[in-house]
Structure 1
Amino acid sequence: MFKQSIPTHSMPVPFDTERAANFKSAEEYAAQIEIRELNDLFVVYERFIGNYVDIEKHWYQFLDKYKAFLNEKTILLERFFNDPAITDMPQCICDICMTVEQDCDLDNVMWIGGGKWIVYQFDGEIKDIFETIQGIFSVWLPGSGYHMSRRYGLNIYRHIDRGSHSVIMDLYIPIS
């Protein structure tokens, strides 16, 4: 709540001391935000603890390891637990996940609860995801009339381009 009460237009990027995250206006974020309901998702997952900068390489390892479970209906997602702007970077937690059939016999499966979410489509370089998420939290959310619920945020990947280190993804922030 404290973070939401302080108007801001930029902030340092914790992963790169040479960069600052410069935010869009609330209206620019609002133009790309939708409110959606998401069903529960059954996933195989691996927990990542560390600097979020390292998630990209862990994703590629995860995809290579579980490629036999990939099909045209697979949803790739991550569930993030920490805000790297306020959490010690080596302590950030994220579950790297992909949907699987409920009869999957792996031990590392779980349900991720659905519900109501604000959704923002991100299309760009992986290094710029932090700036977008922080802008939504710092600029749009405080004046939106919505409040983040006590669930974890999700990033659902629509396209990953390993060569250019870019993605198209939907950023899901749980609301009440």
Structure 2
Amino acid sequence: MITKEVINQAIDYILQHIEEDITLEDVAEYSHFSKYYFSRLFKEQTGESVYGFIKRVKLEQSAFRLKTEQERRITEIGADYGYSSSNYSWAFRKHYSMTPVDWRRQSCFSSMAHPFFHHESWQAESFEVCDSKITIENIPDYYVIYERRFGSYEDLRRDWDGFIEKYQEYITAKTKLLERTYDDPAVTSAGHCLYDVCMSVGEDCALKNTAKIQGGRCIVYHFKGHAKQIYAAYQTIFLVWLPKTSYELDATKSLFDIYHAVDSETMYMELDICIPVKE
């Protein structure tokens, strides 16, 4: 878990400016620390250097867009993250051990091994089935207590148990449990997935680890089923549903889930997958 709020704020700053030529000096100045002290603190909290984190996130976000923006030229997507054509291909191959062309071809598969339930496969839904579960809504902002982690989404069940026990005194009849995710596990390795477990609270909450999850216009997929089916739902939205619609993702906001029901024994869940889109 990332325990220093200044590092969480720095990560937010990096993610909001990831398509810019952002540097260590920029992030350190934003955080009001010398670049030497900040570099050491960032590495202690995340296990990565600031430069390494920025470079990795740029490549992984570009890989996600290669998958979801099939009509765009590969060189255009690379250029969005500051790469020339030759540099992008070289950097991408070094990170993924394949070219951007091969990655895009592979990522079009609608059925493959499940990244968490390793003895299961997953199958994408049809556009029609997915569309029947989706509404377009204006979601309110949520003020939340949160804890941020790098790791595997497989650890979420354990993380939630500890989080709820730790903050149970803040739970009321109006409390919402939310989960904010930043990475596609088909793109980012298990140990590097970034996510927040969150609990809605009033804005007068005195804890330091509070934040506002921005709502606004969202694609809302109403999920009901076993936890192992959530991955297929996400992939269907990005690989099947979005390419056939005119909606564009709002890259300035994070995706988040709002939980409505969870059975810890059967792993049956009801939740809303909220994906911000441009107005």
SS in 1 for 2:122: strand
Structure 1 counterpart of 2:152, which letter?
N
Tell me the equivalent position of 1:162: 264
**Deviation of 1:113 (Å):** 1.2
**Deviation of 1:127 (Å):** 2.1
Structure 2 counterpart of 1:157, which letter?
Y
The CA distance in 2 between the partners of 1:136 and 1:114, in whole Å, is 19
Tell me the equivalent position of 1:23: 124
Calculate percent identity across the aligned residue pairs: 36
Tell me the equivalent position of 2:67: 3
The CA distance in 1 between the partners of 2:243 and 2:215, in whole Å, is 23
Structure 1 counterpart of 2:142, which letter?
L
RMSD (CA atoms): 1.3
Structure 2 counterpart of 1:21, which letter?
W
Alignment gaps of 5+ in structure 1 = none
TM norm structure 1: 0.94
SS in 1 for 2:234: helix
Q: Where in structure 2 are the equivalents of 1:1-176 lying within 5 Å?
A: 1-4=65-68, 5=70, 7-150=108-251, 151-176=253-278
Structure 2 counterpart of 1:33, which letter?
I
Q: Deviations over 1:43-99 (max 9, x none)?
A: 000012111011111111111111111111111101100000010111101110010
**Deviation of 1:15 (Å):** 2.3
Q: Deviations over 1:87-133 (max 9, x none)?
A: 01111011100100111111110111121100011111222211111
SS in 1 for 2:249: coil
**Deviation of 1:36 (Å):** 0.6
Rg bigger for which structure?
2
Structure 1 counterpart of 2:264, which letter?
R
Structure 2 counterpart of 1:11, which letter?
M
Would you tell me which structure has more helix in proportion to its own residues? Answer: 2
TM norm structure 2: 0.61
Alignment gaps of 5+ in structure 2 = 1-64, 71-104
Would you tell me which structure has more strand in proportion to its own residues? Answer: 1
Q: Deviations over 1:31-50 (max 9, x none)?
A: 11000111211000001211
The CA distance in 2 between the partners of 1:139 and 1:169, in whole Å, is 20
SS in 2 for 1:71: coil
**Deviation of 1:147 (Å):** 1.4
**Deviation of 1:17 (Å):** 4.0
SS in 2 for 1:120: strand
Task: Report how many aligned residue pairs link the two structures.
Answer: 176
The CA distance in 1 between the partners of 2:205 and 2:270, in whole Å, is 27
Structure 2 counterpart of 1:2, which letter?
L
> Which structure is richer in relative contact order (CA contacts within 8 A, separation 6 or more)?
1
